[in-house]
Amino acid sequence: MSLIEVILVDPQDNPTGTMEKQEVHRKGLMHRAVTVYLFNHRGELLLQRRARDKYHCGGLWSNTCCGHPLPGEQTHKAAERRLAEEMGISTILTAAFELSYHLTVTDGLSEHEYGHIFFGHCDQPPILNPAEADAWRYSSLSQLQAEMAAAPQRFTPWFVHTLSRVVEYRQHQAAGAV
């Protein structure tokens, strides 16, 4: 298995170097990430359950997909690539917002990311890459918020952290404010 390099960044998302992905997560260094949220025609979010043997957060429910741009790769292209690699889907993605966080995940690792969040629409069922995800489902945002409030441990930490921003952004989109 080849080692994957990610882009280290400062708090303004300026590149500061590269480093192997798992080492970055062990050291808790800030790096660039992409996160995709796909909605169907009913406004339901496509979720994935991370494959149980992922190096962190295996077996937890999460957003449609996420990953890291490769050195020299544009964030939009990285989001499209990860969506195809994880879910077997190709669709138009739109940059929604950016945020940063530093969260403890499983196995003594942390996610210290400057995240580029992308939204898309698709009714196509995913074709899961079993190395990435082992289940999928659609959920309304209100149902998801209730599930998350009742059992946050069933979801990835970044998904729990980011969902309120996703809901807020969708409400602004619906109101025509975005």
Under a CB-based contact definition with an 8 Å cutoff, are residues 25 and 111 in contact?
A: yes
Catalytic residue among 66, 80, 111, 122: 66
Q: How far apart are CA 151 and CA 131, in angstroms?
A: 25
Catalytic residue among 86, 111, 113, 122: 113
Residue 65 known to be catalytic: no
CA atoms within 13 A on the CB side of 151: 7
Residue type, 144: L
CA atoms within 13 A on the CB side of 63: 26
Residue 66 known to be catalytic: yes
User: Could you list the active site residues?
Assistant: 66, 113
